[in-house]
Chain A
Amino acid sequence: MTKPASVGAVEELPREKIEHFDRELQAILKRYPPDRKAAAMLPALRLGQEVFGYASPAVQRLCADRLGVSAARAEEVATFYVMFHTEPVGAHVVEVCTNVSCSLCGGERIFEYLKKKLALANGQTTRDGRITVREVECLGSCGTAPAMLVDEEMYERLDVQKVEQIVGGLK
């Protein structure tokens, strides 16, 4: 059962951005066997999140449509993985590790400091839409703890001053 890309799946999304998404998706699809397009769900959602800002239900439906799976399946995947944002987030997402090795070196204190400074609770976004702060699990940087991820960039060996500098520098 093949059907053309249904407009219904994507009508809330701007056309130029969809074209951009489709172009980039072609390169991703080359990595998987032609009869296993569904395998590209994680990279497709990541791409959708980059292009459209977050993995909204419309983005989920777009991915489902392009990969030939049900919208329910795309939603299941988008909500399972913590790196997919199914709700709008700030321009920057600051994720502080508070797992054991980091907290032994001050990770939990850094997270508390950041929440206080920005007057946010875990997972919230500043009112200007600039920064979302959240607590995350071990980032695989335990030797260079404490660690945090800002968007795709890992920052390690942190202290409060460094965090202040990094977060202060976010546009």
Chain B
Amino acid sequence: MSETLILSKRWGKPNSAALETYRQDGGYAALDKALGMEPGAIVDEVKKSNLRGRGGAGFATGLKWTFLPKDVRPRYLTVNGDESEPGTFKDRYILEHDPHMLVEGIAITCYALDIHRAFVYIRGEFAKQARSLEKAIADARAAGIIGPRLLGKKDFDLEIVVHRGAGAYICGEESALLESLEGKKGYPRLKPPFPAVSGLWAKPTIINNVETIANIPWIIANGGEAFAALGVGKSGGTRLFGVSGHVNRPGVYEKPVAYNLKKLIMEDAGGVVGGRKIKAVIPGGSSSPVLTADEIDISLEFDAVKAAGSMSGSGGVMVFDESTCMVRVLSRISKFYAEESCGQCTPCREGTSWMEGIVHKIESGHATVADVAKLEQISGNILGMTICALGDAAAMPVQSFLKKFKHEFLQHAEEHRCPYGDHGWGLEQSSRAARVGAITY
């Protein structure tokens, strides 16, 4: 059975990012089809497709689109290409290897929602990816695909603007992203109101991830039902799963949404380095709760991973072999969240730096068993107490590591040293060839 590829099928083809390549491959035919449809019918197809957001929360895309108030204009679309959650590295390849797919997705979405200005927020470190998308937008404009008319036939003014970030994880959070786009520091806003009601410059704004929007042309070309049929239940389509860490073949693998996590690691990613055993897996970016080796024979579908006690999040799967020190891993994760907390709410600002401090103390052998209990307590005081989800994102790893690998924390505290010595990151710390769609890096 050949697998259906939606997002990565052109990666690795010669000039895959060029307009001619995209057109020769049937590109912009979906936009043509969409222009012959009622805007409402496009939204209905997206609803039928069971497309769920690929940015982290897995929210139903078609449903989100219906939250726009009917009579308020202008409306805006912002596409989230901040891609900063540790372990996540997928949107960049869409931007690099197939930017016209995103441009077409944006054009269809804007036409469906009566939006005339779209911003694509790309993290500042992705200079090459931003240039690639900017070229695609300029070429599409020069060819009359977007601009005052769509495909040269429909009067519909559309402007797509690339806005580069400048290094702040929090700007991936949708309301912080809007602040950043308005030219401010990235402080998340209190919700409600949600962006669909009051977003960019207080106007109704739809925010979707790059990968989410890149699916739209396929859905319109093939129909929502065909997309839904690739998945299960209320999740349709394929996803880009990123696998990193101690595997033989790290990379980005496009698979049906309900693909098996263990199979992804052991077969697609070639299993674990040095034939060692898996100790742990983080299934959806660094904020998703960790799973032990015997918890990974599960479907990656959003609700299935949730039922297993974690989150499929951004699709970033991180694999740790048996020689890894879990205290070391948590120490680095906690440092990240302490560093990236915007500092706006006290439980997050203070809690993340306390957690960082205590985990570091445990790691370096200066802690007592009482510190381990204190860590547990502090993480509990953050959950649900903050303006945005970064607080929870910082607390969830701590709670799950303590629940599943408590013995390692206690051993550090009791022996006053790290039992793994100078190889806390594992016995084999080397780079391995990566597979990104059909490309080998």
Contact = CB atoms under 8 A, between A and B. Distances in A.
B293 to A, nearest CB: 16
Given A106-B431, A137-B169, A154 B128 contact: yes
A17 interface: no
A87 to B, nearest CB: 15
Contacts of B163: 31, 39, 42-43
B414 interface: no
Q: Choose among A31, A83, A104, A154 the residue with the greatest number of B CB atoms under 10 Å from its CB.
A: A104
Contacts of A108: 425
A104 B429 contact: yes
B125 A80 contact: no
Contacts of B186: 80-81
B161 A32 contact: yes
Interface string B314-339: 00101010001000010011001001
Given A100-B87, A100-B329, 6 more contacts: A42-B164, A46-B124, A81-B185, A100-B286, A144-B250, A144-B436
B425 A137 contact: no
Nearest to B86: A138
Main secondary structure of the interface of B (DSSP, over half): loop
Nearest to A36: B201
Interface stretch (B8-16, B23-31, B237-245, B305-313): B237-245
Interface in A116-150: 136-146, 149
Contacts of A158: 431
A106 B245 CA distance: 10
A45 interface: yes
Interface string A70-114: 000100110011111000000000000011110111101100000
Interface string B76-109: 0000000111111100100000000000000000
A56 B235 CA distance: 49
B341 interface: no
A98 B425 CA distance: 11
A140 B431 contact: no
A39 B245 contact: no
B166 A99 contact: no
Contact of A140 (B126, B180, B425): B126
B324 A104 contact: yes
A32 to B, nearest CB: 7
Give 10 closest A-B pairs by Cβ, nearest first: A41-B183, A81-B166, A80-B185, A83-B167, A82-B167, A101-B244, A142-B244, A138-B86, A106-B429, A152-B127
A13 to B, nearest CB: 21
B2 interface: no
A143 B89 contact: yes
Interface string A44-82: 011000000000000000000001010001001100111
Contacts of A106: 425, 429-431
A157 interface: yes
A143 B242 contact: yes
B334 to A, nearest CB: 11
Contacts, number: 166
A103 B425 contact: yes
A154 B324 contact: no
Nearest to A63: B183
Most buried by B among A41, A82, A101, A143: A143
A80 to B, nearest CB: 4
Interface of B: 83-89, 92, 117, 123-128, 161, 163-169, 180-186, 201, 242-246, 250-252, 286, 316, 318, 320, 324, 329, 332-333, 336, 339-340, 425-426, 429-434, 436, 441
A81 B167 contact: yes
B128 to A, nearest CB: 7
Nearest to B83: A140
B265 to A, nearest CB: 13
Contacts of B252: 143
12 contacts: A36-B182, A39-B182, A73-B184, A100-B87, A104-B320, A137-B339, A140-B88, A140-B126, A141-B89, A143-B243, A144-B441, A157-B431
Contacts of A67: 183
Contacts of B169: 137
B168 A81 contact: yes
Given A76-B185, A103-B425, A145-B244, A46 B329 contact: no
A42 B166 contact: yes
Interface string A10-54: 000000000000000000000111001011111101100000000
Contacts of B425: 103-104, 106, 108
Given A100-B86, A137-B84, A159 B430 contact: yes
A80 B341 CA distance: 11
A46 B164 contact: yes
A39 B329 contact: no
B251 A143 contact: yes
A140 B164 contact: no
A155 to B, nearest CB: 11
- Looking at A144, A156, A158, the one whose CB has the most chain B CB atoms below 10 A away is A144
Contact of B165 (A39, A42, A101, A142): A42
A17 B180 CA distance: 27
A82 B168 contact: yes
Contact of A39 (B128, B164, B181): B181
